Structure 1
């Protein structure tokens, strides 16, 4: 029933290597945007809310357009989608570099990069994986791809901090634009040469697939939980560096930039192990229980971080724990979607549940800046993140992972 592609010409090794490289570049560059928060806002005389709104809109555009991009990739193949994404990513970074007006900066960093991310990150890569990797290795392969994105964060955080220190924010963004253009040749290496979208009489249509997913209770619960994931990780990614800057008196000998850069790099490093582990464990244990444990673990880690007196060591331990739990939700969530609905419309359905993730990302990024500018503190946002983690722990427990039963004409 789920015949989407004939011989694609891609081996599992090729998909993992170049799919991993695509995600490494797209997610790695994006994860370093928090380092640009204070340099850009200070240089332009903006409040933190302005930068936060741009990143929030980036996540919102990413999430809102992802199902459409996914549907196009499922219908016409992922190659052209990724190609356009690489171009948009480079243009967006260049636009951020030369913008001195808030609207221009928001269009470049919010709209262009948001659209680029729909075409170069997990949903599209997972669609290729679904078509080219056997079901018994699918969640493991998704874990590998997620680990590649984690490696990108670990790699790019010190690179971007080095570029900022050596060249300033404008030239650093232009150099990142050149780096992002490497996604274009990478897309050619993931071209499914014999891709054919089969739609025979009686096959499920896009409209039917959407209706089926939206009415499925497990899909609804996954969607609610994924909102929390987005809120937590993007709030931390965007606001951890300025939060540590505000606490710099607690570690004067080291300095806030060093602590922030090290912490974000540790998140990326331990995220590699976390996402890979979740891919392995997801093949052996119920994925819903693993998801619940991840969300509860995040709430416990944040609570401890706030209660323990701040120091470089406590920050690094927090970063390592959060890193292990950071993107480990991705292979598990997408694995459940593939397990329930199959792979024919996996890119689109992954994009649909991801939209909820990005709504959470918007809230985490924007309200982090908004509430800080209003209260002078991030405390209330940390507390919201804790409560949401407990909520996600509860809503993932009743998820049913078994494949859906369809009639012949479904």
Structure 2
């Protein structure tokens, strides 16, 4: 399969416009969610809930995000990203407000879990990467995806200390109300990603139905391997992001250490995701992914075996930051490289569903096993084993475009 000839390519948005608006949207959407671990202690203390209650809601959030991802991706591919982003922005704001007002575990799961999870599916990477794939030249696609991922990382670095300050000075409920207002800022930015009408015929070259694209992807071995690797990514990063503040508190660390660690993850993730995007233009993406997963496991092993001090926490956070979301540009670039961009948001959503199933297990098992054993040790070592597994299964991924039968013009017309 080859990219369509420029003469048959529909009008594109400016690459700078796509990157600016897409990066700012991801900065907001990912930045807000990255600090949710800071709310675990104040909410469970005030509401009298167990850590598992909070963790289960965040686990449902990740699962809802993943399940809704293919649907929002399909809608964005079919009708354009604008409508999906507008609805997602409103749902995100509403979910944050209801999260602050929830007084039962069930209501908290509905707001912080289901509603925010579905909102995130329409305001984060899958939708934005679909626009990038359709509007950025293939020679710059991996780099552009790295830029967008780096923006999400910067949002994490920027928003964590802001959220910590809001919680400490305004209270955790008012902090959520203000973040709800911030989520509405996605709406005006979404108009910068308003593409020409997609519809049928908007994509030239090989045409597929949605059902055919799904069957093709799920029947392709490399797609299955990418999904398995992304499962591990979700398990590791969401477990660490949500439970590390409480883990550090249990070991006598001041709250500022956890805030600094999460901020460092976001800061160094800017470097890591951008570097992964750049390297994806030069190196085999499967090798980049295998190295990321292997290095994550090594970093966790070192972190668990050295004495726990603020310095060791900051070093671990910086190293994990480089590896945090750096899987995103090469994974999505491989999907586009294999299957093309017609259904990139939808297929990216399916891969991300696997990520979110891993996220669900990582965050829920963290709370469940902590309540059962009084320790996070078992989950840390599960994360190590999974990282080694993911490193090996990414090596056989084939990055070349999938072979498809050539349709003549008369056949396509028929």
**TM-score over 0.5 (shorter chain):** yes
Q: Measure the CA separation in 2 of the matches of 1:44 and 1:22.
A: 32
* Counterpart mapping for 1:175-190 below 5 A: 175-190=178-193
Residue of 136, 139, 150 corresponding to 2:139: 136
Contact residue 79 and residue 197 of structure 2 kept, 8 A = no
Residues 238, 5 of structure 1: alpha-carbon distance in 2 compared, 3 angstrom cutoff? farther
Work out the CA distance in 1 between the residues paired with 2:335 and 2:183.
30
Cα displacement string for residues 297-347 of structure 1 (whole angstroms, at most 9, x for unaligned residues): 000000000000000000000000000000000000001000000001101
Of residues 216, 235, 245 in structure 2, which corresponds to 1:241?
Answer: 245
Q: Which residue of 1 aligns with 2:398?
A: 400
Q: Larger deviation: 265-274 or 62-71? A: 62-71
- Aligned ranges for residues 25-40 of structure 1 at < 5 Å? 25-40=28-43
1:3-402 aligned at under 5 Å gives the runs 6-8=10-12, 10-198=13-201, 203-248=207-252, 255-402=253-400
Q: CA RMSD in A?
A: 1.5
Q: Matched residue of 1:270: which SS?
A: helix
Shift of 1:203: 2.1
In 2, are the aligned partners of 1:296 and 1:389 still within 8 Å (CA)? yes
Q: CA deviation at 1:196?
A: 4.0
Question: Per the alignment, in what secondary structure is the counterpart of residue 287 of structure 2?
Answer: helix
| Distance in 2, Cα, partners of 1:202 & 1:82 | 27
Partner SS, residue 46 of structure 1? coil
Moved more, 36-45 or 203-212: 203-212
Note the residue ranges of structure 1 that are not aligned, 5 or more in a row. 249-254
Q: Does structure 2 retain, via aligned residues, the 8 Å contact 1:74–1:197?
A: no
Indicate conservation of the 8 Å contact 2:61/2:117, yes or no.
yes
Conservation of the 8 A alpha-carbon contact between 1:5 and 1:196: no
- Contact kept, 8 Å, 2:77 with 2:346, in 1: the verdict is yes
Other-structure match for 1:251: none
Kindly state the Cα deviation for residue 189 of structure 1 after the two structures are TM-superposed.
1.9
Bigger mean CA deviation after superposition, 99-108 or 152-161: 99-108
Structure 2 CA distance, aligned partners of 1:344 and 1:367?
37
SS at match of 1:120: coil
> What is the CA distance between 1:7 and its match in structure 2?
1.6
Please say which of residues 141-150 and 99-108 is displaced more in the overlay: 99-108
Q: Deviations over 1:258-297 (max 9, x none)?
A: 1000000000000000000000001000000010000000
Q: Which SS does the other structure have where 1:27 is aligned?
A: helix
Give me the whole-angstrom Cα distance separating, in 2, the residues matched to 1:91 and 1:28. Answer: 17
**What TM-score do you get using the length of structure 1 for normalisation?**
0.96
Indicate conservation of the 8 Å contact 1:241/1:257, yes or no: yes
8 Å CA contact retained: 1:131, 1:343: yes
Q: Which runs of 5+ in 2 are unaligned?
A: none
Other structure's SS at 1:173 match: helix
Assess if the C-alpha contact under 8 Å between 2:147 and 2:277 holds in 1. yes
Name which of structure 1's ranges 260-269 and 203-212 shifts more when overlaid on structure 2. Answer: 203-212
Q: Residues 103 and 285 (structure 1 numbering): CA distance in 2 closer, same or farther, change over 3 Å?
A: same
Q: Is the 8 A contact 2:235 2:361 kept in 1?
A: yes
Q: Aligned-pair distance for 1:201? A: 11
User: CA 1:200–1:313 in 2, change beyond 3 Å: closer, same or farther?
Assistant: closer
| SS, match of residue 261 in structure 2 | helix
Aligned length: 403
For the residue of structure 2 that corresponds to 1:278, the secondary structure is helix
Distance 2:362 2:280 in 1: 27
Cα displacement (A) at 1:195: 3.7
